[in-house]
Amino acid sequence: MIRRLLSACSAAAAIAFAANAQSVAITNANLWTGDDMVAGSTIVIRDGRVTAVAPDASIPADMARIDAEGAWVTPGIFSAFSRVGVVEVGAEDSTNDTTAPSATFGPALHLSDAFNPSATTIPVTRIEGVTRIAVVPGFGANMFGGQGFVADTSGEADSITKAQAFSFINLGEGGAGLSGGSRASAWATLRAALSDARTYPARYIASDEGDVLGRLDAQEFSAAARGQQLLLISVDRASDIRKVIALKDEYRQLDVALVGASEGWLVADELGEAGIPVILNQYANLPGRFENLASTQKNAGRLLDAGVAVAFAYFDDDSHQTRLVLQSAGNAVANGVSHEDALRAITSAPASIFGLDDLGSLTPGSVGDLVIWDGDPLEVMSAPTHVFINGVEQSLESRQTKLRDRYLNLDESERPLAYKR
């Protein structure tokens, strides 16, 4: 859908409620709540929380209003896999904090310690409607990436939502290479690590070392090992996924989610029965490695048909193009996923996977993350006209938009010296 220009009255409304941004009502919305469509709805946000959602919701007389004029309104988009804010320039090691290849620690690495809310990639991501990101560590010296976190894209100093949201490990080809050279050694390492962490601190009283984890790593991994923290596992091959399902059956208290799962459709029924959710990249349809020979863009649809909870992400340039999660969802629709399931996969589903049920939805009590769109959010030409995070309207400017505006209609008399002839 062709992007509509903002009307003068809409711009005036934005200015009017900027001073009272945490108390606002959105009327005449074609609303996606995170689970259902509700036409002609009103959403009331007070003090950063949604207080009412209904076509006839009561609006206080002194509350600022935005007439959505029938436009799409959705919860803020939640990217389930990102490295926004921990990489500034991918080719410059000093600005890339995703991995620690020389570190002696694994599970004890907190990626939130490296997060820069002022990174230039934050506004680039936000202006496309992405308000929450799960920031995932890479793998350095071993199969344990460390602790990932969830943050909002406001750019504020306190924008980390959940600092230790999950522990990330690799049980695919990469994990095998980091654990002695084979999948057998990777699984032996994981089982030993689970034993170390589950018996912490008892076995560390007399010594600082477990079978594979030092004291601090065991302490940090103990929450995941006891099912008190999400254990996010990178895996693609169907046989590897079956091993994870067996692990979950053996350690029933584990809270497990998969990343990648390119061959997940081959074991979709087993994943659905085990209740293990999957974060996948809808673009993954080529056999780039031996562990994903059965990749297909039908993966998401087949997993959803088997009752698997699915969230989408964009893996190819996860530090600068996280915003393409919307196109990933659109591609899923083109390959058989329903429009509703695709929207869930970028709103309520990732919020649920990371245990943040007050995000990813617009229902009474939920966080006031909200986007008003100028078209269908899954149409490539649609864009946000308003973005709210915690009930506060956000800027739709980025370094790119400022450069565009500066040079698009440049007065020749203001041309920078370097461009004068």
CA distances from 196 to 17, 203, 214 (A): 54, 8, 9
- Asked if residue 315 has pLDDT above 80, the reply is yes
Mean pLDDT of 245-252: 96
Average pLDDT of 298-322? 95
Q: How many whole angstroms from its chain centre is CA 343?
A: 13
Which residues are CB-neighbours of 216 under 8 A, at least 6 positions away? 105, 108
Residue with tokens 């988009």: 77
Binned at pLDDT 50, 70 and 90, residue 9 comes out as very low
CA geometry: angle 294, 296, 297, nearest 5 deg: 165
Is the pTM higher than 0.85? The answer reads: yes
At residue 206, the pLDDT reads 81
Rounded CA separation 91/138 (Å): 15
Residue 20 above 70 pLDDT? Answer: no
Tokens of 386: 């308003």
- CATH numbers and ranges of domains, the chain: 1-75+361-421 (2.30.40.10), 77-359 (3.20.20.140)
Tokens standing for residue 276: 């293990």
Query: Which residue from 207, 293, 276 is spatially nearest to 241, judged by alpha carbons?
Result: 276
> Among 2-16, 164-178, 382-396, whose mean pLDDT is lowest?
2-16
Give per-residue pLDDT as tens, 326-348. 999 999 999 999 999 999 999 99
Asked if residue 136 lies in contact with residue 80, where contact means CB atoms within 8 angstroms, the answer is no
Over 90: is that where the pLDDT of 419 sits? Answer: no
Question: Among residues 83, 31, 71, which one has the least CA distance to residue 343?
Answer: 31
As a whole number of angstroms, the distance between CA 153 and CA 160 comes to 9
